[in-house]
Structure 1
Amino acid sequence: MARSARAREEIRRFLDIGAVQVAELDLDGDEAVLRPGPGSPPVTHGEVFVLVRRGGRPVGTLLGRVPEGADARVVLEGRARAECAPLPSARADTGEPSGLGEPPYTSVVVATRERAGQLARALDSLLAQDHPRFEIVVVDNAPVTDETRELVERKYAERVRYVCERVPGLAVAHNAGLAAVRGEVVAFTDDDVVADPRWLTELTAPFAADAGLGCATGLILPARLTTPAQVLLESHGGFAKGFTPRTYDPARPPGDEPLFPFTAGRFGSGANMAFRTAVLRSVGGFDPATGAGTAARGGDDLYGFVRVLAQGHRLRYTPSALVWHHHRETWRDLETQAYGYGAGLTAYLTAVLVNRPALLPAFLARLPRGLAHARTLTAVRETEGGGAAPGDHDVRTHPWPRRLSRLQRRGMLYGPLGYVRARRALRATVGATARETARETAPGTVRETARGAR
């Protein structure tokens, strides 16, 4: 079917988006230090997306242009010192716990499927963490080859444990990792990230300072901005949640979050999250009928956030816990992502209400405002220009295509049905996998393949 004139214009404008360099600028000391982003070449002239640090800690981002022949460091340093404010001198001003102490023993779970090249890059960054005590568990989800297992055994056998989970789905894979870990805290990240060397320490140290903390999330920034899809997504905020630390406490609901805790997308994302292991296990882990690889298309991380908050535990957003994410690269990827985000949003809400019916009255009380909020989430990206205050992350340099907003709304309508389909498919898959495993293993050695399956 032929595209409308508006759709053709959106595609044309999308294809005209140019690449943007990625860099880091540390303002500690009299002279700033400029470094290329992970896997990026040195900065030259042109447009640059810059993470600004003070004393190594992220404090903001800016989008700058370096004229041809100019010194990139000098140009970007001038912008950064003028626009990116220092961190508050008192941690209490932002609600950040003081006296964090040594982070607890932590397990890092990385779920993957047939992406050994990306996985190796992620594992290299995880093994370089400055955290004093941690383990890494790789969960190979529904593999069709031995590539992942062979990579772990050949290159990482001494530092990384390998777990095979035959039932497809990100939440199922995360539950398999949760069952295998030994740490007091379990952190989750993806195989398409590069973790900052202090990521794990910054993410998990708050657990030592706050016994009531059940979950922590961190900052996600783009590793590359080389394609129009990557630039468009990041120009509308990407996965970042800002540079101000914040604690969400169910005993003291935030005044500026009237839908709390059902706006779980405000808390963080699955590529950068950690839970107190006992707490996550106590709520049954993630709903295995949510997440990528299922008909629900997503929402597993949001489900985990809400379940932990609903149990009375606090959630901490810590922007100094940074990972660099390799965004999807094509227009088709963005279409899939937009639809999946919408589906995952309503699928996770359905999952929460199915598994925790006592939350239904609170949800219904918030529903009218929730629908208006959901509409805003998609409509706001259609705004041309605008941008955010200096030092903030959301810099809308390109209009958000209406087609992507429509796809997200369609996904939201589909989400509850997708969740029901995922539950049915899970039951069938678990049964078939259990029968196959029983034939291949000796009696008494068959393990549960989808912990938490309902």
Structure 2
Amino acid sequence: MPHSPLRPPIAVADLDLDDLTDLDPDLDPDGASIRSFRCADEPTEWVFALVRVRGRPVGTVLGRVAAPADPARAVAALARERLAGTEPRPPVEPYGDLPRTTVVVATRERAGRLARALDSLLAQDHPDHETVVVDNAPRTTATRELVAAKYPTVRYVREDVPGLAAAHNRGAAVADGAVLAFTDDDVVADPHWLSALTAPFAADPGTGCVTGLILPARLRTPAQVLLESHGGFAKGFTPRTWDPARPPADEPLFPFTAGSFGSGANMAFRASALKAVGGFDPATGTGTPAKGGDDLYAFVRVLAAGHRLLYTPDALVWHHHRETWQDLRRQAYGYGAGLTAYLTALAVRRPALLPALLARLPRGLAHARAMTAARGAAPGVAAPGAHGAHGHPWPRSLSRLERLGMLYGPVGYARARLRLGSGGSGEAR
């Protein structure tokens, strides 16, 4: 593992301030009005903290907390210094009527992690939801036994076709919600996650997909710190809506810049919109030769059908990043493969998009190459309120693996389709 200037473990904290005036760097640190403070790890020299103002996420900060300083006060002072000038947003209001929602969690032989995720899902403040666990190509009965013994209100279904997309399609097929929310077995959902994720569907009938904020649950290993220092899975703290009727001027590759919309560990779809486009492509996703791209495929299909996609940082989950250097290598390769696999899937399954895709393809590949190259360059310190590199150079070996994965993606997708042809479809049904 390359040398990192920050030595893990880094404590992960959640700080809620009472008012935006708490972010004024001229205020006395002891004057901070702290609504709540939670630290997920034992105190260490370094703390990575989510900063909220009256419950609403506004940014993250990273800094030293030297003993014997009170961690809550120290992080509050750091937030005032680093997040000064952050645009205020109104406090979170009651969400009102929310649509009936089904939460789908796909899993495979990770009962311990699943239990942690289910505990958080059963603590949601959404008034009308169900949780469905999809046991994907299981080798043992551990997941079924866990759900039966400890989670009697959770629905258990089995999907024998391997792959995340096939499992998601199975969950969608048995769901009774007007909205389908998806998360992973390695997350802990904020208690307000589901309410924040589904409220936009009630507010706007044209919304077909909503994604949310993903932050690290732990930063205990060098691999976890490196991933998070380059943005992790977070998409920022500013809400955004993508409307196919009004393509964004700052995204000439739209809608094929699916990676900027969100991630599969924190996404929801209007059930009718997702089913109308045929659900997820079962030849994509983790657990298939394609290695990923299932979420990206669904984002683009829903946008291409004319629905709006909204990102809200208020819908928060805490993700347990992969812990080892080898895990990170596999992840980098899988990201590259999933990117070109989903583009291949669009070309195969939605040929009407092919002219637009081909017109943008050279620019898109150049953009992807520039992104991986930029990670290998020496990064600067993240801007105030930003979420990104804190002095950790992205290893060139990982950039090379991403590019190799991009070359492999179409081959992996073809292999996945051949496998499905001989062993079951995994289609939405």
* TM-score computed with the length of structure 1 as normaliser: 0.88
**AA aligned opposite 2:126:** H
Aligned pairs for 1:42-441 within 5 A:
44-84=43-83, 85-89=85-89, 101-157=96-152, 159-430=153-424
Looking at structure 2, the residues matched to 99 and 125 of structure 1 have their Cα atoms a distance apart, in angstroms, of 20
Residue-by-residue CA offset, 1:365-399 (whole Å, 9 max, x unaligned): 21222121111121111122302211111133211
Correspondence for 1:28: 18
SS class of match (2:52): strand
CA separation of 1:408 and 1:346: change in aligned 2, threshold 3 A:
same
SS class of match (1:353): helix
Residue-by-residue CA offset, 1:296-335 (whole Å, 9 max, x unaligned): 0000000000000000000000100000000000000000
Looking at structure 2, the residues matched to 331 and 33 of structure 1 have their Cα atoms a distance apart, in angstroms, of 37
Looking at structure 1, the residues matched to 219 and 292 of structure 2 have their Cα atoms a distance apart, in angstroms, of 24
Looking at structure 1, the residues matched to 245 and 356 of structure 2 have their Cα atoms a distance apart, in angstroms, of 15
CA separation of 1:321 and 1:405: change in aligned 2, threshold 3 A:
same
Show structure 1 runs of 5+ residues with no match. 1-10, 431-448
Looking at structure 2, the residues matched to 86 and 12 of structure 1 have their Cα atoms a distance apart, in angstroms, of 34
How much is the aligned-residue C-alpha RMSD, in angstroms? 1.9
Q: 1:450 aligns with which of 420, 426, 429?
A: 426
Looking at structure 1, the residues matched to 223 and 335 of structure 2 have their Cα atoms a distance apart, in angstroms, of 16
SS class of match (2:199): helix
Query: How much does 1:119 deviate?
Result: 0.4
Query: How much does 1:264 deviate?
Result: 0.1
SS class of match (1:144): coil
Correspondence for 2:24: none
Query: How much does 1:417 deviate?
Result: 0.6
Query: How much does 1:75 deviate?
Result: 1.9
Looking at structure 2, the residues matched to 186 and 135 of structure 1 have their Cα atoms a distance apart, in angstroms, of 10
Asked if the contact 1:110–1:189 (Cα under 8 Å) also holds between the matched residues in 2, the reply is yes
Asked if the contact 1:192–1:325 (Cα under 8 Å) also holds between the matched residues in 2, the reply is yes
SS class of match (1:13): coil
Query: How much does 1:82 deviate?
Result: 2.7
Correspondence for 2:28: none
Looking at structure 2, the residues matched to 69 and 37 of structure 1 have their Cα atoms a distance apart, in angstroms, of 16
SS class of match (1:342): helix
Show structure 2 runs of 5+ residues with no match. 20-31
**AA aligned opposite 1:142:** A
Number of residue pairs the alignment of both structures matches: 416
Asked if the contact 1:15–1:228 (Cα under 8 Å) also holds between the matched residues in 2, the reply is no
Asked if the contact 1:48–1:66 (Cα under 8 Å) also holds between the matched residues in 2, the reply is yes
Query: How much does 1:450 deviate?
Result: 1.8
Looking at structure 1, the residues matched to 318 and 403 of structure 2 have their Cα atoms a distance apart, in angstroms, of 28
Looking at structure 1, the residues matched to 114 and 89 of structure 2 have their Cα atoms a distance apart, in angstroms, of 38
Query: How much does 1:18 deviate?
Result: 2.8
CA separation of 1:424 and 1:76: change in aligned 2, threshold 3 A:
same
SS class of match (2:3): helix
CA separation of 1:57 and 1:15: change in aligned 2, threshold 3 A:
closer
Looking at structure 1, the residues matched to 89 and 120 of structure 2 have their Cα atoms a distance apart, in angstroms, of 30
Looking at structure 2, the residues matched to 331 and 90 of structure 1 have their Cα atoms a distance apart, in angstroms, of 41
CA separation of 1:189 and 1:89: change in aligned 2, threshold 3 A:
closer
Asked if the contact 1:100–1:208 (Cα under 8 Å) also holds between the matched residues in 2, the reply is no
**AA aligned opposite 1:334:** L
Residue-by-residue CA offset, 1:147-168 (whole Å, 9 max, x unaligned): 10011111111x1000000111
* TM-score computed with the length of structure 2 as normaliser: 0.93
**AA aligned opposite 1:75:** A
Query: How much does 1:74 deviate?
Result: 2.1
Looking at structure 1, the residues matched to 410 and 140 of structure 2 have their Cα atoms a distance apart, in angstroms, of 33
SS class of match (1:148): helix
